[in-house]
Chain A
Amino acid sequence: MSLKNILDIEELNKTHVLKIIESTGYFKEVLGRDLKKVPALRGKTIINIFYEPSTRTRTSFELAAKRLSADVINFSPSSSSMKKGETELDTIKTILEMKADLAVVRHKDSGFVKYISEHITIPVINAGDGRHAHPTQALLDLFTIYCHFKRMEKIKIAIVGDILNSRVARSDISLFKKMDLEVFTVSPSMLLPEDMSYFDTKNFECIDEIIGQCDVIYMLRMQFERQNKKFYPSVREYNRFFTLDFKRFNNMKEGAILMHPGPVNRGIEIDGRVLDMEDRNLAKIKIGEQVGNGVAVRMALLHYLLSQK
């Protein structure tokens, strides 16, 4: 049962996932109180090391730690001695000499977080490494789905967009399949990995083929920063086959929900006008709720890693 780090979905078994999802509900209750803070991790120090820009994940981890009364240090390489030529590992070891209890790490290279975890003794949480994994996003997505449907098994979910460059897609697909959801992908072949056998999911080349049958439509962010060549002819072409516009929004199955890990490229993954309806469609558009649930999931993970044997 013991887990030292959260690096990847692969190292979690079903029992871990169910335990995390169950305890997240209790942490979410704290966020609904007037005084949104409990002393569970008082005296613990958590360090956020983000080599890649991030608003929601870093803020989410920071808030999660603070809601549990832990101290947080935010470290960003642009304002550090790395500019003076210190290596990443030396920098991290220096910071850890200051007696942190847990590190949250994001980096642009796949596998970097695992490398760090092998060289330091405290628990490490992967907050996203390259194209590889983003396990806390996948867990908060699963929690959001579970909160809405009160079950996981046999939920049909379409993951739409840039599968190739997306660590969210990789972690989501492996977590959802592990928990017996029915996962489909919707993506142009240029934005799929060459070898899809690892995922073993059926792909559709137009969102209209499947939109009416799915309980969850999960739009991925177009990862422009990782696209080193042009993957589709034009935005208009992409809009025709993949973008979630008004018509497709209305064609979604009764009771289905729309998700996106954020930040949204308006007009590419989702029509801006659909996004602007979120306040009136909270039961259907879950993008804001995902952010809120992110804090609760991260509270559960921090507490889990710092409280077990």
Chain B
Amino acid sequence: MREKATVLNESDMDRIVKRIAHEIIERNKGSNNLIFLGIQKKGIPLAERIRDHIENLEKTKIDFGKLDISFYRDDIDKKIKTDFNITDIPFEIKDKDIILVDDVLFTGRTIRAALDAIMDFGRPKSIQLVVLIDRGHRELPIRADYVGKNLPTSLNEYVEVMFKEIEGEDKVSICWI
């Protein structure tokens, strides 16, 4: 994979986290009923950052869970290698407003699987989707409520998102496959 261009750097990502945190508080009129779910793996650090920022702004504690969607994929016959991760939702989600967080929104299939997974844990009041990058090419009628950056791409490109917590630096770049 060859890098074509850097799309977001560390300070861009920081500004996006802060802006989305404010948008979430505004739309939900506070943070009372919110819980955060990050989709494994790259949704986790982004969700944590936004959650931490809201906790600071609102002086409150917000429950945080991790969701792995491997068991809900619709492509087992495509024989794609599966790396399992832990699902950890140690609280009730019934009647909560869930902020679901992932790094890149592409075909929409991951989000479809995540919605199915969440419903198995209970019936939330609402689910709102946060993504850092919306790269288009949707195959399902799914959209994000909060978008870091809309990034029109072609299908032979790949969006690489890096987080300090995982790769050691904060960067989003667009690469040739």
| B72 close to chain A: CB less than 8 A | yes
Measured CB to CB, the closest approach of chain B to A31, in angstroms, equals 12
How many B residues touch A, CB cutoff 8 Å? 19
How many A residues touch B, CB cutoff 8 Å? 21
How many angstroms from the CA of A29 to the CA of B121 in the assembled complex? 13
Residues of A within 8 A of B72 (CB): 38-40
Q: Is the interface of A mostly helix, strand, loop or mixed?
A: loop
Residues A33 and B120 in contact, CB atoms below 8 Å apart: yes
Residues of B within 8 A of A38 (CB): 71-72, 117, 120
Most chain A beta carbons < 10 A, residue from B71, B73, B85, B120: B71
Interface residues of A in 252-309 (CB under 8 A from B): 303, 306-309
| A37 close to chain B: CB less than 8 A | yes
Measured CB to CB, the closest approach of chain B to A71, in angstroms, equals 15
Residues of A within 8 A of B73 (CB): 40
Interface residues of B in 67-109 (CB under 8 A from A): 68, 70-73, 76, 79, 81-82, 84-88
| A203 close to chain B: CB less than 8 A | no
Residues of A within 8 A of B71 (CB): 30, 38-40, 68
Residues A40 and B86 in contact, CB atoms below 8 Å apart: no
Residues B84 and A23 in contact, CB atoms below 8 Å apart: yes
Interface residues of B in 131-167 (CB under 8 A from A): none
Interface residues of A in 197-213 (CB under 8 A from B): none
Most chain A beta carbons < 10 A, residue from B73, B76, B87: B76
Residues A306 and B76 in contact, CB atoms below 8 Å apart: yes
Measured CB to CB, the closest approach of chain A to B114, in angstroms, equals 13
Residues of A within 8 A of B121 (CB): 33-35
Q: Which residues of B contact A (CB under 8 A)?
A: 68, 70-73, 76, 79, 81-82, 84-88, 116-117, 120-122
18 contacts between A and B (CB under 8 A): A22-B84, A25-B86, A26-B70, A26-B84, A29-B87, A30-B71, A30-B87, A33-B121, A34-B122, A38-B71, A38-B117, A39-B71, A40-B70, A40-B72, A40-B76, A44-B76, A307-B76, A308-B81
